[in-house]
């Protein structure tokens, strides 16, 4: 007779639900636990990929699907304990990770020896390195259960103190002043996803957050836990929210594994009530002179090409992964009863000589069937200049790359979203 064993995922979820039940008992009347989430899936068609146009069922047309457990306990005197646990869910596969439609393919500028400034004889080694990097392209590939967020906090009269895996300050600003609110292939962050223009969330962080009237401010630090040599992070953001307008600024700064200054993202945004909706504008400055994760390339290829050539190859990939770009976004969102319309454009303006510029123009429409359920349609057109190869993704995943340098791409999507 066979015995069916529960998976680690089911055991972890069961434990979370048992905890929720325990905390909801009358013995802890001042405590509460809530279970909520978003379920979002639909059909997409994307052109310009290596395999031509691809039609697929996708999870996360507007928002990434997720299950959220929140716990709160009123401690009295303005003090409160809280917990947030947020699990990623891919409806098309049932997994908690995803890869773009282009899988591990990298842009030509990162996979062709000639575009890396290397002799053609190095192409087999370049192909091997590109494949190694490409294996890491995707979302939550390590399968972390509480991938989206996992933190505990204490709310005090002088602000909230939080510890764990959290959204970063610069990302909070980019989400707040993105016309699409990070929803759909047309959202601003889609044009700067490979390599990433902004760290969305980080593990092992400590944060402080305060809200007073219309002012919101937060600061975050990470000590580079898990790395003996670097990986430290710091960030901060500030916003003012009025009834008819809002402004905000956010900054992220992170080291690479060698303790060198790596990705820095500065984002400034504003929105203004105009007519029946709001006008959104955002500007970002993206800098990375010391990309993360390339310091091991030389050791990987030394047995094949020798130390001198290995250093040359590592230097070529390092230069290719650097970033010096401006992110410019403008759009308008309006709601008319059960109808919400979004329209916007974003420019990733590469300041380097390779000129990997990408411009997106897109629109989305939501029809609310109820307060919790809506039908959504979205279209996005990515225009790639010179060596750029960005392809549109969705609210829960990146699009990856197009077939070749300078190839444009269009995404059409129709989906259903339910919030609970």
Task: Report phi then psi at 192, rounded to 5.
Answer: -125, 60
pLDDT digits (tens, 9 = 90+) for 172-229: 999 999 999 999 999 999 999 889 999 999 999 999 999 999 999 999 999 887 666 7
What is the predicted pLDDT for the residue at 228? 65
In whole angstroms, give the CA distance from residue 108 to residue 100.
Answer: 16
Nearest to 137 by CA among 102, 92, 90: 102
Q: Which residues of the chain have pLDDT under 50?
A: 1-29
How is residue 20 written in tokens?
């929720």
Q: Which residues contact 315 (CB under 8 A, 6 or more apart)?
A: none
Prediction pTM value: 0.90
Domain ranges of the chain: 34-206+272-277+286-419
In whole angstroms, give the CA distance from residue 190 to residue 59.
Answer: 16
What is the three-class DSSP state of 369?
Answer: coil
Q: Which residues contact 49 (CB under 8 A, 6 or more apart)?
A: 101, 102, 391, 400, 402, 403, 409
CATH of domain 34-206+272-277+286-419: 2.40.160.10
Prior bond of 306 cis (ω within 30°): no
3-state secondary structure 315-363: HHHHHHHCEEEEEEEEEEEEEECCEEEEEEEEEEEECCCCCCCEEEEEE
What is the predicted pLDDT for the residue at 20? 39
What is the three-class DSSP state of 61?
Answer: coil
How is residue 272 written in tokens?
């203004």
Nearest to 107 by CA among 272, 354, 414, 286: 354
What is the predicted pLDDT for the residue at 102? 94
């Amino acid at each position: 007779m066979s015995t069916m064993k529960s998976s680690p995922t089911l055991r972890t979820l069961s434990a979370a639900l048992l905890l929720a039940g325990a905390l909801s008992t009358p013995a802890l009347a001042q405590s509460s636990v809530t279970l909520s989430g978003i379920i979002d899936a639909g059909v997409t068609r994307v052109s310009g990929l290596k395999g031509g146009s691809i039609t697929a069922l996708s999870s996360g047309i507007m928002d990434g699907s997720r299950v959220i457990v929140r716990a709160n306990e009123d401690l009295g005197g303005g003090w409160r304990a809280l917990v947030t646990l947020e699990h990623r869910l891919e409806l098309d596969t049932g997994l908690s990770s995803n890869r773009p439609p282009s899988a591990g393919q990298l842009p030509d500028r990162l996979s062709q020896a000639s575009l890396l400034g290397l002799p053609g004889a190095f192409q087999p080694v370049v192909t091997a390195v590109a494949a190694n990097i490409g294996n890491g392209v995707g979302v939550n590939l390590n399968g972390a259960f509480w991938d989206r967020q996992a933190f505990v906090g204490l709310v005090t009269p002088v602000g909230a103190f939080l510890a764990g895996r959290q959204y970063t300050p610069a990302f909070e600003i980019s989400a707040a002043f993105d016309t699409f609110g990070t929803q759909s292939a047309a959202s601003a962050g889609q044009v700067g996803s490979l390599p990433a223009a902004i760290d969305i969330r980080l593990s092992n962080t400590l944060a402080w957050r305060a809200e007073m009237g219309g002012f919101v401010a937060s600061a975050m630090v990470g000590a580079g836990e898990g790395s003996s040599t670097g990986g430290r992070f710091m960030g901060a953001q500030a916003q003012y929210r009025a009834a008819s307008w809002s402004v905000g600024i956010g900054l992220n700064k992170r080291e690479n594994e060698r303790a060198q200054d790596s990705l820095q993202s500065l984002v400034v945004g504003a929105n203004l009530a105009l007519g029946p909706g709001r006008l959104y504008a955002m500007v970002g400055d993206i800098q990375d002179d010391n990309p993360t994760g390339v310091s091991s390339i030389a050791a990987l290829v030394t047995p094949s090409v020798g130390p001198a050539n290995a250093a040359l190859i590592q230097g070529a990939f390092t230069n290719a992964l650097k970033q010096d770009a401006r992110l410019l976004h403008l759009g308008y969102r309006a709601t008319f009863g059960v109808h919400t319309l979004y329209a916007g454009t974003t420019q990733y303006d590469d300041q380097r000589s390779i000129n990997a510029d990408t411009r997106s123009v897109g629109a989305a429409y939501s029809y609310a069937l109820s307060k919790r359920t809506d039908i959504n349609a979205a279209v996005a057109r990515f225009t790639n200049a010179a060596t750029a190869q960005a392809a549109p993704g969705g609210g829960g995943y990146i699009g990856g790359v197009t077939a070749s340098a300078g190839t444009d791409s269009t995404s059409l999507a129709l989906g259903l979203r339910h919030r609970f």
